[in-house]
Homo-oligomer: A and B are copies of this chain.
Amino acid sequence: MKNFNYSIPTKVFFGKDQINVLAREIKNYGSKVLLVYGGGSIKKSGLHDKITGILKANNISFWELAGVEPNPRVTSVRKGAQLCRDNKIDLILAVGGGSSIDCAKVIAAAYYYEGDAWDIVLDPSKIKKVLPLATILTLAATGSEMNAGAVITNFETKEKLGTGHEDMAPKFSILDPTYTFTLPVKQTAAGTADITSHIFEVYFSSTKEAFLQNRMAEGMLKTCIKYGPIALKDPENYEARANLMWTSSLAINGLISYGKETEWSVHAMEHELSAYYDITHGVGLAILTPHWMKYILNDSTLDKFVEYGVNVWDIDKNGDKYAIANAAIEKTREYYNSLGIPSSLKEVGINEEKLEEMAKQSIRRGKLGNFRVLEAEDVLSIFRAAL
């Protein structure tokens, strides 16, 4: 186990009707709020009315940044930061999934930064101070509700990049699984794929030990495997929604990555697909993952795949190791198929044309991964296999 510094300061209010704590918690930070949300589903569902009703009843002033994009853009961040400055906002409240939350995080950091907001995405070390922010989650996927990272897209430069700062962690997050009951099937599926990918990115690691973290990661994978299909078939199954939501938060708040080298190869590859083609992040991850697994399987990564197959998929441990590993990869592919996610890049409108350019771009911050290091040509091979 490697050394680590653990700090997960976000308070989580989990369960039905936890929105009742909203006004009390906001008042710890002030009385002027910027609401940040996406395409309007929270208006349809009645959540917007509920929130604004609570704010009004408690004399909390609020302004709104609506229409944050599924791959949130730096243009939205700029708008939000201006709104915060113009109105001396005390706390940013993101309502939605990772897109709204990530956008709110970078707005909160951009508020105190004098230059252009894109600078602090390109170079997180420029972030020195951050406005308090909080979240109300409506999609189990990115885990952004309980960590300090954010991903922002700049379509002018075709870049989708991660940034972060410890003070970008939400002060509190309200996680009410019933808010995910009305999600479209496709979003539930893509969100679940996103969670599994976060787990894979830290489970498959060059750190051979960290036994505890590996067993917890396997428990999280089993949770996604059990409840993803249930949530699709029975969208109002509380236990399914609750387990997926809590897994989304714990999968990427550090708990299973502390003490380990991490990969983040598939995310880096997928960010190119989203940046060039604006596809759904979770869909891109689900398409790439089995091909990435197949590509990196070799004599030195074999044992980890066997562990994965035996512990997560209950494959008989007495078989040939490569047979177990390949069966585990096949199970992974079948699982994503069972969620109704496309299984090839062509199905989401991506062809050979820009693969080489995207592969080059994917390593702009350096080679990918440690468990199996990937260079641009490796990424290109994985992209091609996924066509």
Contact = CB atoms under 8 A, between A and B. Distances in A.
Given A3-B15, A212-B220, A259 B239 contact: no
Interface stretch (A5-13, A34-42, A58-66): A5-13
Q: How many copies does the complex hold?
A: 2
A243 interface: yes
Interface in A1-46: 1-9, 11-18
Contacts of A220: 212, 215-216
Interface string A200-217: 000000000111101110
B1 A12 contact: no
A223 B216 CA distance: 10
Contacts of A238: 1
Contact of A218 (B7, B210, B211, B219): B219
B11 A246 contact: no
Contacts of A215: 216, 218-220, 222-223
A227 B239 contact: no
Interface in A170-227: 209-212, 214-216, 218-220, 222-223, 226-227
A15 to B, nearest CB: 3
Interface in A344-386: none
B209 A219 contact: no
Contact of A212 (B12, B17, B211, B219): B219
Looking at A18, A210, A219, the one whose CB has the most chain B CB atoms below 10 A away is A219
Looking at A215, A250, A258, the one whose CB has the most chain B CB atoms below 10 A away is A215
A343 interface: no
Looking at A6, A7, A212, A223, the one whose CB has the most chain B CB atoms below 10 A away is A212
A31 to B, nearest CB: 23
A144 interface: no
Interface of A: 1-9, 11-18, 209-212, 214-216, 218-220, 222-223, 226-227, 238-239, 242-243, 246-247, 250, 255, 258-259
6 contacts: A1-B238, A3-B14, A5-B13, A214-B219, A216-B219, A219-B219
Given A212-B219, A216-B219, A219-B219, 19 more contacts: A1-B15, A1-B238, A1-B246, A4-B12, A4-B14, A5-B11, A5-B14, A6-B11, A9-B9, A14-B259, A209-B243, A211-B223, A211-B227, A211-B239, A211-B243, A212-B220, A212-B250, A218-B219, A242-B259
Closest A-B pairs by Cβ, 9 of them: A3-B15, A215-B219, A6-B12, A1-B242, A212-B223, A7-B11, A209-B239, A216-B219, A216-B216
